[in-house]
Structure 1
């Protein structure tokens, strides 16, 4: 089976055997295909026969050489022919070239856009016609012979045209098939010339780099990607243009996606082929597997050592406590207290290993984040010392957000203390900024310290990796990473671009809490009271009902947005409250999955018991639906 590039070479060889000149320009007025006779007939330089050449450049070259007549204005000739090409119509014409030879030009549009043009040298036929006219009387005896020769030439020409038409059809179908296949691939495939200008694209760039455009032919890589992304790509692009294959990954700053880029030098030396793929999911899975394996290792370590380590710490604590109660010199008492502090730190370390081995779940609740961040900074400042200044920059909405405040405070405090340690004795500035960037809540911590080393950037979130041997546990950033993933967010560790210093960006899903008016229907008084308190704690207004009959009279209250009802009430089924015109319904039940009554419910069903996070998620789901 012939591979695609072999087919292309085979086709090009076939086109080169045709006696006529042929060119195909695409819908962007750029050269797609040309045979050797095309260059030979018009004596084009190599630059004008390469795929991607602009039609305007070709016409200007011919106009300046006088191809369209000595008296015609070259600029006007270019403008006229480019305008005609944009609204291309089938045509046939004959014209005399400056070198004294006659050519016929036959053009036809292609269904995929663009057109094919065939150029035939008809000088000999024209000379025969002129000779026949000038010597019609003298050559009357030769008319029949020349006519036969001309007829034979015409038949040969017709045969060639037929073959050329078939070749054109094959080229057109192959081009259309190739474009269709490449546009179905979930990756961006492109070709750039030596000036890094796009000459081919499968129009999939926005699927890989969100926010970019599809019509990129003629643009440079730098123009398209912007200075920040291009700065990462440029060194690899230069090496590829020098003939070296390149495969590398970058993080697209605007979208946070991880992109793998493969650069393959064009064997003819005319540029580089590009394959760009979004590997964000692959990287996340890879990181998750890595962290999972490390957590598994931590769990095994904890399981194997926790018992003996706990017993050892208990013995040490008991002995030191006994010593502390005895009559000891002041220096010995200080040693005892230091030993007790170290032992308690060992207990904390054991607990933290257990946490990273099996992270706790989230407990989301409505949080006024601006106030939480102010309180956090007030809490953290006394621990930073006089040489460190903590700044808070907040651009957050006034409405509460659905977050796990405990996880968030732990994560941010961990980052602040890490930044303090990185600043060291000289001190410096730490800045915590927060903003809403839908669909994300972005929290960014920067400092004016030395920044992360290359090794720290590569291993920052690995459990047990620390840049402070003998001091840190190496679990801080790993725990922040795990908590971010658990909340559906991301953690990005890097260095500042404007000055020395580290930059850590925490992204969490932006979930604004919009208070609802909820009709709560529950015939168990104690359970109804507990649910009412849970809903009020989440920021909602609650109307209560203890029966189905009472609830039916409340479903048309103005402003009512959700009904939360037990499935089985004392006087009927809560599912009877479902209405196409009424508020959305959520049912609660202790019936197991697969129960017929539960499966017949026309709305979401919560399994009792449930927590505030599960209730909030279900409320958000029905409200947005």
Structure 2
């Protein structure tokens, strides 16, 4: 009976997740489809521009929504770097004050010295703003909200209580604050505390479920805390909540302690910049008659293939299309290419990564770019030299990746 109850709760969560995604994406698609239909039928340039901007804005909201879902599933594309959280928080103070608003008091109690960890700085700032907005919405207009950092150590259960070499003002904490899934080790604890409405036990049990929210309709997606949870777990840490109704809430992020890496050496002031422009011909002008760069695009989605190929051709590339890796290998046997742009997840039994491995061996001069709408795939590419382009991408992002190849072409 207990197992059946757990299964029923999981099915309920999945149903709420799919229903919430469908609801939000249907709204976005309504804007995009309506805007494109008006663009197709109207000759008014101003109206076409307005509808194009509305459709583009809706597409970008869809991109943010999928980013939140990927954060919850711990499959987002992180760019971790060695940073000092204290310095990052101080740098972002003006933005954090704006997130809270003028009527509330926002305090910072940051630990002495450094708070070193290895995280994606932009994703951490987004998570912190999410927590502050939640604290603001759950608090009265004259509330106090506090952001704290502290050293934190999780001792293995069988280990003796040894000295942690922490400052006297930062005592070692016992296991009453951190969640049970946090592994033994040293962490930086980031806490957002408020004196607002707090949460009941029933709310606390569901607070990380996607699309679960206690806010009114139109005042929250229910993805804020699930996104923070996913980011923290993907960064090697965890999250806990201490809350009492009518007394306030403390949300604690535990991020692994990490020795800061030295900053990269700067180039000498008198160093000459390298010329990355195409080499001119004998007349001093770029060679307008140079052969176009041949690009093989492997994409099973016809819409993505058509839009991207059209853009690439306007940029001067000679583009051939293949619907899967098998077709791509056939093209590579009969033609020579300068660039391979391939999706990772494709039908046919051969993935984009497997295709790239074969091309790298058989055609080592081909510049390889892999793309996917599932950024978790980037984990498999960390030890490879290939570029990764997450979907959805813009023509500008693709242009930036291809610019280096164009500059190398004589």
The structure with higher relative contact order (CA 8 Å, sep 6+) is 2
Higher alpha-carbon Rg:
1
- Using the size of structure 2 for normalisation, the TM-score is 0.45
